[in-house]
Amino acid sequence: MINLSYTFDQDSSSLKIAGMPDVSNGDSEDTIGILSSWTLKIIGSPLLEGEKEHLDNLMQVILLYSRAYVSGIRKTFISDNNIVTISPLGICHKLLLNSTKDGVKPLEIILDDSELSDLTRCLDRIRFDPRVNIRWDINQDKPFSKKYILNSISNQKKKSNFFYALIIFLFSSSLFLFIPTNNKYELIENTTSPKSLTD
Amino acid sequence: MKKSNLIASQNDYLKNGSKYQDTNVNEPFVNCVIAKDTPRKLDFLILVIETLQLNATDSLFLKAKDIGLSDDFSNRAQFWKIRCTNPLRNTYTFKSLSSDQIESLVELISSMADNLYPLIRQLLSSKESKTLNQERWSIFTTRLKSLIRERMNIQRSYIDSLLTEGNSEFFRELLVILSLSCGEGGANRLKASLYYQS
């Protein structure tokens, strides 16, 4: 049995896959058609490893998030099996990985823009490498509908608009406190009777 | 979980069988229309490339020749005409980009971004020294703003807002787009972002 392993490096990310050719699918000797294991090293975080299903989940989420990011959309994406979650965190991105084993706490990795693009490029390489012939359970990069983009972007704007409105309201209300009230004003009853012009 | 599933079903994504059935940058999108901001986005991306590399125009023409694009992309005047479809330019032509032109520009931008990736990465990284990063950003924004001042219609309020001090969010967005547009996968991503599903 031929065991093959290939490494895909991109600055802060290094993805190593191991497997063998799928002879029934007509793979050549140097092509991985059956994935047996994978390891992902992101600088500054623990080594990640798992089965094909886990890599599928990671690819689904990262590639969809990057695709949305290019369209200016920043929102949370969760993989089909709830294993991988990615959400925006300030100018960074929070990657949350749930283990399928019991008793293992979820792993949280904070990625900046450069690390996100490194990871995305790593996953892109594996998709397009001719030495890898694996059926990935991921979505194609297709245009979003206009409605979806507007809803996704306007939600962020709506939130910030509400926040600004609240600040303006509090600020203007507090300004009123500084306006002095005239406590010396006295109500004097007008006792003089009206006089007619003929008097 | 539910959110992402909704997104996937809303956009009716196709499952990707194998890499041989994967999207190709030259494959047209069915039932899709070109987004209104496409010329603006592409022109600004080229402007960022010009900011990152001196004499980038010559490199762009060479790259266009290398990847086998039509003569429009290696001819200075023709290339300028294509870029003038950006309505924010000083000299704006009332023309729209064709799908073929978009595909060629995407391919060109993607391969240029691939070459400039180390520089783009440096600017986006938050793990490096803060002072060094600020210095790099200052050089980058100053150069980009001077190019914007030179080529864009500064009477437009949008351009004016870009030129104000401390507004570098849009420039960062452009850099992120470039960093995620490298390679074949990146080109597909960029191309998909330039269309809407009708």
Q: What is the pLDDT of residue A199?
A: 55
How far, in Å, CA of A28 to CA of A131, rounded?
9
Q: What is the pLDDT of residue B2?
A: 36
Q: What is the pLDDT of residues A20-42, one digit of tens each?
A: 999 898 889 999 999 999 999 99
From the list B1, B15, B185, the residue facing A82 with the nearest CB is: B1
Kindly state the average pLDDT of the residues B1-27: 42
Kindly state the average pLDDT of the residues B53-58: 90
Number of other residues whose CB lies within 10 A of the CB of residue A91: 12
From the list A69, A133, A142, the residue facing B19 with the nearest CB is: A133
Residues 115-174 on B with a CB inside 8 Å of A are 120-122, 124-127, 172-173
- Confidence class for position B5, pLDDT limits 50, 70, 90: very low
| B10 near A CB under 8 A | yes
**From A85, which residue of chain B is nearest by alpha-carbon distance?**
B1
Q: What is the pLDDT of residue A154?
A: 62
- ipTM entry: 0.85
How far, in Å, CA of B145 to CA of A64, rounded?
32
Residues of chain A under the 50 pLDDT cut: none
Whether the per-residue pLDDT at B83 is higher than 90: the answer is yes
Q: What is the pLDDT of residues A140-151, one digit of tens each?
A: 888 999 889 888
Q: What is the pLDDT of residues B138-185, one digit of tens each?
A: 999 999 999 999 999 999 999 999 998 777 889 999 999 999 999 889
Distance from CA of A83 to the nearest CA of B (A): 10
Helix (H) or strand (E) holding A6: strand A4-10
Distance from CA of B175 to the nearest CA of A (A): 9
Across A134-138, B108-112, B116-120, least confident range: A134-138
Kindly state the average pLDDT of the residues B116-132: 93
| B6 near A CB under 8 A | no
Q: Is B197 helix (H, G, I), strand (E, B) or coil?
A: strand
Is B25 or B67 the better-scoring residue by pLDDT? B67
Q: Which CATH superfamily is domain A4-142 in?
A: Transcriptional Coactivator Pc4; Chain A (2.30.31.10)
From the list B16, B184, B195, the residue facing A140 with the nearest CB is: B16
3-state SS of B153-195 is CCCCHHHHHHHCCCCCHHHHHHHHHHHCCCHHHHHHHHHHHCE
Angle at A63 between CA A59 and CA A65, to 5 degrees: 120
| B61 near A CB under 8 A | no
Q: Is A131 helix (H, G, I), strand (E, B) or coil?
A: coil
Q: What is the pLDDT of residue A185?
A: 63
Is B6 or A134 the better-scoring residue by pLDDT? A134
How far, in Å, CA of B180 to CA of A67, rounded?
8
Q: Which amino acid is at A36?
A: S
Is B180 or B11 the better-scoring residue by pLDDT? B180
Distance from CA of A64 to the nearest CA of B (A): 9
Number of CB pairs, chain A paired with chain B, less than 8 A apart: 155
| B27 near A CB under 8 A | no
Q: What is the pLDDT of residue A188?
A: 65
Strand pairing report for A4-10 and A13-20: antiparallel
| C-alpha torsion angle, residues B89, B181, A137, A40 (rounded to 10) | -150
Q: Which amino acid is at A190?
A: N
Q: What is the pLDDT of residue A177?
A: 82
Q: What is the pLDDT of residue A159?
A: 66
